[in-house]
Amino acid sequence: MKYPICLFEDNKYSNFLPLTYFRPVYDLRCGILTLREKVLRLLQPDKLILHTRKYLNNFIREENKNHVVNNFVDDKILFINGRLKLSEDLVGIFSHAKTDELFLSKNEIAAALLSQKSIQILLKNNKDSLTDFSVLDCKQSEIDAYLYEYPWHLIQKNGEEIVNDIALISPQFNKVEHPGVHLINKEKIYIGENVLIKPNVVLDASEGIIYIEDEVTILPSTYIAGPCYIGRKSFVKANTQIYNDTSIGPVCKVGGEIENSIIHSYSNKQHEGFLGHAYLGSWINIGASSNNSDLKNDYSKIKVMLNGQEVDTGTNFMGLIMGDHSKCAINTAFNTGTVIGVSCNIYGSGFPPKYIPSFSWGGAEGLREYHLRKAIEVAKIVKSRRNIMMSVNDLELFKSVFDLTQAERK
């Protein structure tokens, strides 16, 4: 792409909370890649600018030393909505954009090629998110584009995006033999380097691609059905069943039964129990024999609580959404459409509430605030187990999110 590209957040990042408390919306995973990684592979920009909320600025800058963060000095910049499902067709449209041209899909800004004058007007009239483009005197072009609006849209598109991402990655098929492993439709199975797969594992790609990254371990008597992605250095325990449309990010440990779910990275659900139509953030631990429901007994559409309002998902299948650094005890039972905030500790008998604010401790019998100091101590221990140390910016991020979520705990 001949112009610098800026991935930006509009105010609908809040629809993805709690998953977007610790990351911009474009760093959510759908398929194999995050939304940002798809943009990098499809557009291959010489310069990528990351726009994000102010409290995330220092953390994102530290984590992305090869990119520019919240700095817009170029003469022209192609702004792309971080919620956009980018495709080859859209790349063709954007490559022929005129200066100061807005691309809209169903009255939402999908992208915009802006001059420096328009950029300054946009920044002056928007604060934490770039939402109001109406202040710009620009040509408007209607395009056919898909913008994710809620977490369940990422879950619903996950299988399709696993297939699309394979085309972007173009992995080489590893011809290393795995004795005793049953490969069904093996031309659709991609196995990385240094992968250990024990006997009596079934990889079934009859309904979609299976992509297993480097250094994954899969123990015996496991069944995996595509489309499915298992990230680098992840560990799949014995007797695990992973069904269609599931993505397991890097450095995760999984077991039990998983269906049509996204587990971001550095999270563990390694024991018996069902996880279905769910989205888990990072640094999560699901206790043994814990389950979530993803279908109501009366088969009605499922509603969830987001930003203090009940939202109809429009789907019969919706499981658990859990924010980063949260945990649940053994035998925890989550109802359909349950939303757990960041840094929660859930335990006790009975169904916990369907919405639990961030930094909460408890369950069905009541909740109390999880002290920030203790939450940070636990996060430090958990990260150190993966040889990752918390930085000053990590600590400041925890404090910022704690303050941002204080009102909902009251």
Dump pLDDT digits (tens) for 25-75.
999 999 999 999 999 999 999 999 999 999 999 999 999 999 999 999 999
Per-residue confidence (pLDDT) for residue 308, from 0 to 100: 85
- Name the strand (E) or helix (H) holding 312: strand 309-312
Calpha distance 327→343 (Å, rounded): 7
pLDDT, one tens digit per residue, over 301-332 is 999 999 889 999 999 999 999 999 999 999 99
Q: What is the mean pLDDT of residues 375-380?
A: 96
Q: What is the mean pLDDT of residues 78-94?
A: 97
Calpha distance 388→394 (Å, rounded): 11
| DSSP assignments along 194-233, one per residue | T-EE-TT-EEE-TTS-EEE-TT-EE-SS-EEESSEEE-TT
Calpha distance 291→330 (Å, rounded): 10
Residue 32: how many CA atoms within 13 Å on its side-chain side?
Answer: 25
Model confidence, pTM: 0.96
Per-residue confidence (pLDDT) for residue 294, from 0 to 100: 97
pLDDT, one tens digit per residue, over 283-306 is 999 999 999 999 999 999 999 999
Query: Does residue 175 carry a pLDDT above 80?
Result: no
Per-residue confidence (pLDDT) for residue 176, from 0 to 100: 79
Per-residue confidence (pLDDT) for residue 304, from 0 to 100: 97
CA distances from 192 to 100, 189, 212, 332 (A): 44, 10, 6, 35
Task: Report all structural domains of the chain as residue ranges with CATH numbers, in order of start.
Answer: 5-148 (3.90.550.10), 150-270 (2.160.10.10), 284-410 (no CATH)
